[in-house]
Structure 1
Amino acid sequence: MKRTISYKEHTKNMITGFRFGKEHYLLRRMNIYFKGGLAGYLFLFFFISSTYSQESDEPSVLQEFQNAEAPEERFNIFFNSMDRYNINSAYDWLDTVKVYLGNSQKTSDDTAILQYKLMQAQIYNDLGDYDKSIVLARELFESSDTLDITSQKLILDVLDDNYAKLQLYDKQIVIRKRKRELGITENVAFYDIYSNLGLHRKARNQYIMEVKPTIADNDSYGLAKYHSKVGNYLRLDNSAPTALSELKKAKAYLDVFINDISKQKTEKELFDTEFLKAEIEGNIGKCHVLLGEFEEAIPLLESSIEVLKTSPVNSHQIEVVDNTLDLADANLQLERFREAKKNLDIDFDNTSILQDIKRNRLLASFYDRVENYRNAATYYRRNERIKDSLNQKQASLLKQQLVTIVANEDLENSQRLIDEQKRINEQARNEMKAKDERINLVFISLIFTLLGFAGLVYAYLKSIKNQRLIAEQKHIIENSLIEKDSLLKEIHHRVKNNLQMVSSLLSLQTKNTRSKSAIEALEEGKSRVKAMALIHQKLYQNDDLSVIEMQGYIESLINSVQSVYKKGGHNISITIDAEGTELDIDRAIPFGLILNELVSNSFKYAFPESDENGKIYIHLRKNGDQGYFEYTDNGVGMPEDADERTNSSMGIRLMNRLVNQLQSKLNIDRDSEGVRFWFNFS
Structure 2
Amino acid sequence: MLQAQSITKEDSTLRTFKIKEGASDKFTFFFEVPNRYNENSAYDWLDAVQLDLVEAQEDNDSISIRKFKIMQSQIYHDLGDYDKSVAIANELYKQKSSLDLNTKRILLDLMDYNYARLHMYDKQLEIRKEKKAIGLSKNVATYDIYANLGLPRKAMQDYIMEVMKTISEDDHYSLAKYNNNIGNYLRLDNSSSVALSKFKEAKGHIDIFLNDITNTRTEKEIVEANYLKGIIEGNIGRCYAQLRQYKEAIPWLEGSIITIKEFNKGKFSSDVVENTLELAECHLQLGNYEKARNYLKADLEPRKIENLLKKNRALAAYYDKIQDYKNVSFYLKKNVRINDSINVYESALRTQQLAALTSQDLENSRNQMQEQKLALEKSRLDLQAKEERINLVFISLIFTLLGFAGLVYAYLRSIKTQRLIAEQKYIIEASLVEKDSLLKEIHHRVKNNLQMVSSLLSLQTKNTRSKAAIEALEEGKSRVKAMALIHQKLYQNDDLSVIEMQGYIESLINSIQSVYKKGGHNINITIDAEGTELDIDRAIPFGLILNELVSNSFKYAFPTDDENGKIYIHLRKNGDQGYFEYTDNGIGLPEDTEERTSSSMGIRLMNRLVNQLQSTLNIDKTADGVRFWFKFK
| TM bracket (short chain) | 0.5 to 0.7
Of 411, 434, 439 in structure 1, the residue corresponding to residue 365 of structure 2 is: 411
SS of 2:262 mapped into structure 1: coil
Match of 2:214 in 1: 262
Match of 1:205 in 2: 157
SS of 1:371 mapped into structure 2: coil
Of 361, 365, 369 in structure 1, the residue corresponding to residue 321 of structure 2 is: 369
SS of 2:259 mapped into structure 1: helix
> 1:372-391 residue pairs with structure 2 within 5 A?
372-391=324-343
Deviation at 1:349, TM superposition (A): 2.2
Distance 1:365 1:208 in 2: 39
Q: Please tell me whether the aligned partners of residues 196 and 239 of structure 2 are also in contact (alpha carbons under 8 angstroms).
A: yes
Distance 1:417 1:340 in 2: 55
Q: Does 1:75 align with 2:27?
A: yes
SS of 1:349 mapped into structure 2: coil
Letter in 2 for 1:80: E
Deviations 1:221-255 (A, max 9, x none): 21111111100111111110110111111112222
Deviation at 1:64, TM superposition (A): 1.9
Distance 2:230 2:323 in 1: 36
Deviation at 1:399, TM superposition (A): 0.1
Letter in 2 for 1:360: N
Match of 1:95 in 2: 47
1:412–1:249 distance in 2 versus 1, CA, 3 Å: farther
Match of 1:238 in 2: 190
Deviations 1:78-97 (A, max 9, x none): 12212222222222222222
Distance 1:322 1:64 in 2: 34
Distance 2:174 2:49 in 1: 36
Match of 1:344 in 2: 296
Match of 1:153 in 2: 105
Distance 1:116 1:296 in 2: 46
Distance 2:57 2:268 in 1: 36
Distance 1:366 1:406 in 2: 42
Q: Please tell me whether the aligned partners of residues 210 and 417 of structure 1 are also in contact (alpha carbons under 8 angstroms).
A: no
Distance 2:167 2:369 in 1: 15
Distance 2:294 2:156 in 1: 35
Of 32, 35, 38 in structure 2, the residue corresponding to residue 86 of structure 1 is: 38
Match of 1:565 in 2: none
Q: Does 1:187 align with 2:187?
A: no
Distance 1:258 1:232 in 2: 22
Distance 1:211 1:107 in 2: 46
Match of 2:18 in 1: 66
Match of 1:355 in 2: 307
Of 171, 177, 186 in structure 2, the residue corresponding to residue 219 of structure 1 is: 171
1:331–1:57 distance in 2 versus 1, CA, 3 Å: closer
CA RMSD of aligned residues (A): 2.4
Deviation at 1:106, TM superposition (A): 2.1
> 1:349-498 residue pairs with structure 2 within 5 A?
349-409=301-361, 410-411=364-365, 413=367
Q: Percent of aligned pairs with the same residue?
A: 45
Distance 2:302 2:329 in 1: 25
Deviation at 1:61, TM superposition (A): 2.1
1:383–1:165 distance in 2 versus 1, CA, 3 Å: same
Distance 1:324 1:244 in 2: 19
SS of 2:225 mapped into structure 1: helix
Match of 2:470 in 1: none
Length-normalised TM-score, structure 1: 0.51
Q: Please tell me whether the aligned partners of residues 38 and 266 of structure 2 are also in contact (alpha carbons under 8 angstroms).
A: no
Deviation at 1:412, TM superposition (A): 5.4
Deviation at 1:355, TM superposition (A): 0.8
Q: Please tell me whether the aligned partners of residues 364 and 379 of structure 1 are also in contact (alpha carbons under 8 angstroms).
A: yes
Letter in 1 for 2:324: N
Length-normalised TM-score, structure 2: 0.55
1:57–1:382 distance in 2 versus 1, CA, 3 Å: closer
Match of 1:301 in 2: 253
1:78–1:414 distance in 2 versus 1, CA, 3 Å: farther
Deviations 1:321-353 (A, max 9, x none): 111111111111111111111111112224311
Of 115, 136, 141 in structure 2, the residue corresponding to residue 163 of structure 1 is: 115
Letter in 2 for 1:329: E
Deviation at 1:313, TM superposition (A): 7.1
Distance 2:69 2:200 in 1: 43
Match of 2:80 in 1: 128
Match of 1:292 in 2: 244
Match of 2:465 in 1: none
Q: Does 1:108 align with 2:60?
A: yes
Distance 1:69 1:361 in 2: 52
Q: Please tell me whether the aligned partners of residues 223 and 263 of structure 2 are also in contact (alpha carbons under 8 angstroms).
A: no
Match of 1:144 in 2: 96
SS of 2:269 mapped into structure 1: helix
Letter in 2 for 1:406: T
Q: Please tell me whether the aligned partners of residues 309 and 316 of structure 1 are also in contact (alpha carbons under 8 angstroms).
A: no
Q: Please tell me whether the aligned partners of residues 210 and 414 of structure 1 are also in contact (alpha carbons under 8 angstroms).
A: no
Match of 2:412 in 1: none
Q: Please tell me whether the aligned partners of residues 37 and 265 of structure 2 are also in contact (alpha carbons under 8 angstroms).
A: no
1:233–1:417 distance in 2 versus 1, CA, 3 Å: farther
Q: Does 1:228 align with 2:180?
A: yes
Distance 1:173 1:127 in 2: 24
Higher mean displacement: 131-140 or 197-206: 131-140
Deviation at 1:125, TM superposition (A): 1.7
Letter in 1 for 2:170: N
Letter in 2 for 1:111: I
Q: Does 1:271 align with 2:271?
A: no
Deviation at 1:57, TM superposition (A): 13
Distance 1:354 1:186 in 2: 33
Letter in 1 for 2:365: L
Deviations 1:448-474 (A, max 9, x none): xxxxxxxxxxxxxxxxxxxxxxxxxxx
Match of 1:652 in 2: none
Q: Please tell me whether the aligned partners of residues 42 and 266 of structure 2 are also in contact (alpha carbons under 8 angstroms).
A: no
Distance 2:56 2:160 in 1: 47
Q: Please tell me whether the aligned partners of residues 226 and 263 of structure 2 are also in contact (alpha carbons under 8 angstroms).
A: no
Distance 1:100 1:350 in 2: 32
Deviation at 1:134, TM superposition (A): 2.0
Distance 1:237 1:317 in 2: 23
1:256–1:83 distance in 2 versus 1, CA, 3 Å: closer
Q: Please tell me whether the aligned partners of residues 53 and 68 of structure 2 are also in contact (alpha carbons under 8 angstroms).
A: yes
Letter in 2 for 1:297: A
Match of 2:596 in 1: none
Distance 1:278 1:414 in 2: 37
Match of 1:678 in 2: none
> 1:313-324 residue pairs with structure 2 within 5 A?
317-324=269-276
Deviations 1:336-378 (A, max 9, x none): 1111111111122243111111111111122222222222122
Higher mean displacement: 292-301 or 105-114: 105-114
Q: Please tell me whether the aligned partners of residues 186 and 417 of structure 1 are also in contact (alpha carbons under 8 angstroms).
A: no
Deviation at 1:413, TM superposition (A): 4.9
1:170–1:313 distance in 2 versus 1, CA, 3 Å: farther
Distance 2:45 2:369 in 1: 42
Deviation at 1:415, TM superposition (A): 8.8
Distance 1:352 1:105 in 2: 35
Letter in 2 for 1:411: S
